[in-house]
Amino acid sequence: MTTGISPSYRFAYIVSFLLHPFVLIVPLFMIISIRFAPTVYEGVLCGIVIILGSAAAPFAFIRRGVSRGRWSDHDISRREQRLVPFLYTIGCMVCAFAFLLLLEAPLELLATFAGMVCAVASALLVTQLARWKISLHLIGVTGTVLTLALLLTPLAYWLAPLIVLVGWARWRVGAHTLSQALAGVALAATVTFLVYQAFGL
């Protein structure tokens, strides 16, 4: 007897995996780093610092916790388990931001990274104070699309359907409700615009 997994569920799972925030960080910050740094070398260096601090180190920490049974899965699907991974991630990101300051990273990169830190911190507050599981996937993909559109080219707005696709995928796999997905979009958009304004961009 085999358990049936529908094609739509399988597709939604693949979308969730490929457009995971930890995955999106890599191309986004490499593009922004290389585009605005004085040299390609400096851009790659800044990009590596960000990837290590905001993706590699947090993912390794979460993966270890999952393997030891501390957390349910790599998405930390259970809201009550999110505090420690969130705090660890924010701590790693703050350290990475300090390195970027030492490297005299370009303003556009600092603003983008600061926006991500603020978004994660805001998501933590929502999760802990409102006891509500806002969608990190939607925060990640919305922030990515807006960053590319605001800093590089308005043509990036054509990537907006990815936001809808990720929202559907997270709903389809049962990870979030529609309101949790929409809240992720709203938070990312608000933080992105406010942070760029604060940095004068």
DSSP string, the chain: ------HHHHHHHHHHHHT-HHHHHHHHHHHHHHHHSSSHHHHHHHHHHHHIIIIIHHHHHHHHHHHTTSSSSTT--SGGG-HHHHHHHHHHHHHHHHHHHHTT--HHHHHHHHHHHHHHHHHHHHHHHS-----HHHHHHHHHHHHHHHHT-GGGGGGTHHHHHHHHHHHHTTS--HHHHHHHHHHHHHHHHHHHHHTT-
Q: Is position 33 within any domain?
A: yes
pLDDT confidence of residue 195 = 95
Q: Is position 130 within any domain?
A: yes
Q: pTM for the full model?
A: 0.86
pLDDT confidence of residue 132 = 82
Encode the chain (201 residues) as per-residue pLDDT tens digits: 345 678 889 999 999 999 998 899 999 999 999 999 999 999 999 999 999 988 888 888 888 877 887 777 666 666 677 778 878 888 999 999 999 999 999 999 999 999 999 998 998 888 888 778 889 899 999 999 999 999 999 999 999 999 999 999 999 988 889 999 999 999 999 999 999 999 988
Q: Is position 155 within any domain?
A: yes
pLDDT confidence of residue 76 = 66
Q: Is position 180 within any domain?
A: yes
Q: Is position 106 within any domain?
A: yes
Number of structural domains the chain divides into: 1
Q: Is position 1 within any domain?
A: no
pLDDT confidence of residue 28 = 93
Range of the domain at 132: 7-198
